[in-house]
Amino acid sequence: MSRPHKKRLADPVSASIESLSHEGRGIARINGKTVFIDGALPGEEVRFLYTRRRGQFDEGRAVEVLEPSSSRVEPRCRYYGMCGGCSLMHLDSEEQILHKQSVLLEQLAHLGKVEPERILPPLSASRWGYRRKARLGAKYVAGKEKVLVGFREKFSSFIADIDSCEVLHPNLGEAIGQLKELIHELSVYRQIPQLEVAISDSVAAVVIRHLAPLTGNDKRILADFEAQRPVRFYLQPGGLDSVHGLSGDDGQNLYYRLDGHDITVEFSPIDFTQVNFELNALLVDRVIELLEPGAADKVLDLFCGLGNFTLPIARYAQHATGLESSEDLVLRAQRNARNNNLTNVDFNACNLMEPDAGPLVSGYAYNKVLLDPPRTGAREIIEQLDLERVDRLVYVSCNPATLARDAGILVKQGGLGLKAAGVMDMFPHTSHVESIALFE
């Protein structure tokens, strides 16, 4: 007797979408099993294809929306759905930020077992052409006889075949097709796997990772392109320490302005800077609003980077100290302080993830603290801080899960109160959640 055939993965299935997952996929229940469906929104009836079967849950992608949500919008980008750079462009922008807020509050309650006394209004800025930092893949595809430049395809390691990008700053977002043609002109077009993009207030920097030496003619081709557009090329023949300007020097200075605080921040094309400069300016304002640095305050900025927060804080505090593990970033932060004529701020190198960082940190005078850690959070240094000295602590996070975990430590072990928390739309049209919290 033959066994009955299981329903093939290729057969479309109907589903009612109940909610939205943290990463922006619709959640449905099929025969008692959870299915995460890409491209579906809460309240919708969709037909979808299974893309993967797992033990605890399944995955799929919507192929037809039978009853659309009132929050569904037409994606502005013609590559949306194929390109993996964005995941929420089919959801109304205001609903996107509300979803991110719900993710933050759920994580605080579930992981940290804490609840903010006040929810801060979400911060939003321009939602198109906002992205100033990006890592783009590059690859020559023999079958298409052309070079591809872009983000990876959704759920794939292949590079998306695009000629423009709606979220990249227009200086490069509108010129991807030209970049593809430019790279194809080079003799090493088969040995260029990646472009690192860093767009300043003055020019767009493009770091070309190349696995074979450029010829003199290659460099002339790049120089001609520079002469016609607000683009400056940097070359990377090896590791990050090999990056240099096309002409052999450091290239043109890159910078951004924080006009509200009369601060100019210079950076190199491989430094960490916030992706969204317009939103970053609003974030700096909010940090200062929550931290309330005054003439009697000594502020400690942990994971300070180039001084994005430290420098404007120093405009108002008695003194500001920035600690950062990267010595290169510390040197540039020190130079930024000099360039902005700030004498009440200092920057020092310190690995804040080490178990012996506590004694080093305790040697600095502070009564207010700012934390802006990487995705892994700040648990290591939080557990070593003398929180008895802290009047206010502001935590900027790029990962709501680690913020929630650390918030639980600050409240339950450190004796601080979670006074306020909120989100900002640093990455519109993606599921990435950037958040901020105030502890007293």
Looking at residue 211, its pLDDT comes to 98
CB-based contact 309:258 (threshold 8 Å): no
H or E, element range at 373: none
33-38/345-349 β-pairing:
unpaired
Looking at residue 1, its pLDDT comes to 37
The tokens of 12 are what?
């479309």
The tokens of 88 are what?
């929420």
pTM of structure? 0.94
Beta bridge mates, 323: 302, 348
CA nearest to 324, candidates 341, 340, 307, 342 = 307
For residues 159 and 135, give the distance between their C-alpha atoms in angstroms, rounded to a whole number.
12
For residues 82 and 72, give the distance between their C-alpha atoms in angstroms, rounded to a whole number.
18
H or E, element range at 264: strand 263-267
For residues 314 and 316, give the distance between their C-alpha atoms in angstroms, rounded to a whole number.
5
33-38/26-30 β-pairing:
antiparallel
Looking at residue 49, its pLDDT comes to 95
Looking at residue 118, its pLDDT comes to 98
- Amino acid at the residue 48: F
- For residue 359, CA distances in Å to 73, 162, 351, 386 come to 53, 51, 12, 10
CB-based contact 43:15 (threshold 8 Å): no
For residues 88 and 85, give the distance between their C-alpha atoms in angstroms, rounded to a whole number.
10
- Amino acid at the residue 70: S
Which single residue is written with the structure tokens 């500001």? 320
> Nearest 5°: phi and psi at 302?
-100, 135
Looking at residue 4, its pLDDT comes to 40
For residues 208 and 319, give the distance between their C-alpha atoms in angstroms, rounded to a whole number.
40
Q: What is the mean pLDDT of each run of 10 residues along the chain (440 residues)?
A: 47 94 95 95 96 92 96 97 96 97 98 98 97 97 95 93 97 95 97 97 95 97 94 95 83 86 96 96 98 98 98 98 96 97 97 89 94 96 94 98 98 97 98 98
Burial-class residue 389 by CB neighbours within 10 Å (0-12, 13-18, 19+): middle
**Positions marked active-site:** 398
For residues 294 and 292, give the distance between their C-alpha atoms in angstroms, rounded to a whole number.
6
For residues 143 and 148, give the distance between their C-alpha atoms in angstroms, rounded to a whole number.
12
CB atoms within 10 A of CB 278: 14
- For residue 398, CA distances in Å to 245, 274, 288, 318, 374 come to 31, 11, 18, 28, 7
